[in-house]
Structure 1
Amino acid sequence: MPKTTLAVRSDETPWTTAEATAVREELTEDLARLKSELVDSARDLQDILAGGVDGAGNDQADVGSNSLERDAELSLAANQRELLLQTEKALSRLDDGTYGVCELCGEPIGKLRLMAFPRATLCMDCKRREERR
């Protein structure tokens, strides 16, 4: 059962039901969109691979173009998979009551940060420290 009280910093107002619902809806919509995009990416990649990249019958420019297209599609699919995993994790954290709590220090992440980036798992201080490494 989803927790109705989400973590907030001491200088923030508590989450309203409407705000919490909006975050959940955004994440749920993102999840559906990302799943659809992954299906499309898989189909596009299949089409690219079916066209072949081995160069048989193609000039050098065609082979290079096909390789670039394949690499771009693989990169896009990897990014979509990562976003999908982050979205699933955020929804799970909403359900288990840990949404809004920093995974490193255990302090609230910050309501404004989560409203801007609902997949955030780290508070700004921990995120800054992580990026410096």
Structure 2
Amino acid sequence: MLVNETVTTGRSQADIDQIRLSLQARYDELSAEYEEAVTQSQVLRLVEVGDTAGDDQADSGTKTAERDTAQSLLRTILDRRAQFEHALARLAEGSYGWCEGCGSAIPVERLEIFPAATSCVGCKQTRERRAA
């Protein structure tokens, strides 16, 4: 480990390794969840293709809603996985745990709750207020 890394991040190599393992484990869980959702989506499509005879508008609407829900789930999982991928990249470059907005340290409690956080609470609140 570089001496500067400990000074700038305040983390030991053991801490960094533990964070990396935790982030990687969650990334792997999300990857497996995504693969399962893709499989379920494909099964849903196969069932739809083979079972459209006699469908009325309500049946078609239900199938469309189920398809939309499945696609939304896939997008959500991919977004969450990308957040953890970004967190792993930030950890590798030494910027993990520092706010991308103001450069302040992100509180450990926030990182424990949301390990992929890229902003401190203040910057996150400001961004949410602007989006509203």
TM-score (norm 2): 0.81
Residue 49 of structure 1 corresponds to 45
Per-residue CA distance 1:3-44 (angstroms, 9 max, x = gap): 853866xxxxx4455544332222111111111111111111
Cα distance in structure 1, aligned partners of 2:53 and 2:127? 47
Of residues 21, 34, 37, the one that matches 1:38 is 34
Residue 20 of structure 2 corresponds to 24
Q: Which runs of 5+ in 1 are unaligned?
A: 9-13
1:121 aligns with 2:118: yes
- Compare the two structures and name the one with the higher helix fraction: 2
> What percent identity do the matched residue pairs reach?
38
Cα distance in structure 1, aligned partners of 2:13 and 2:98? 18
**Further displaced range: 20-29 or 81-90:** 20-29
Cα distance in structure 2, aligned partners of 1:7 and 1:123? 17
RMSD over aligned Cα, in angstroms? 2.6
Amino acid corresponding to residue 60 of structure 1 in structure 2: Q
Greater RCO, CA 8 A, separation 6+ = 1
Residue 57 of structure 2 corresponds to 60
Count of aligned pairs between the two proteins: 128
1:108 aligns with 2:67: no
Per-residue CA distance 1:46-68 (angstroms, 9 max, x = gap): 12222337954323333222222
Cα distance in structure 2, aligned partners of 1:7 and 1:87? 22
TM-score (norm 1): 0.81
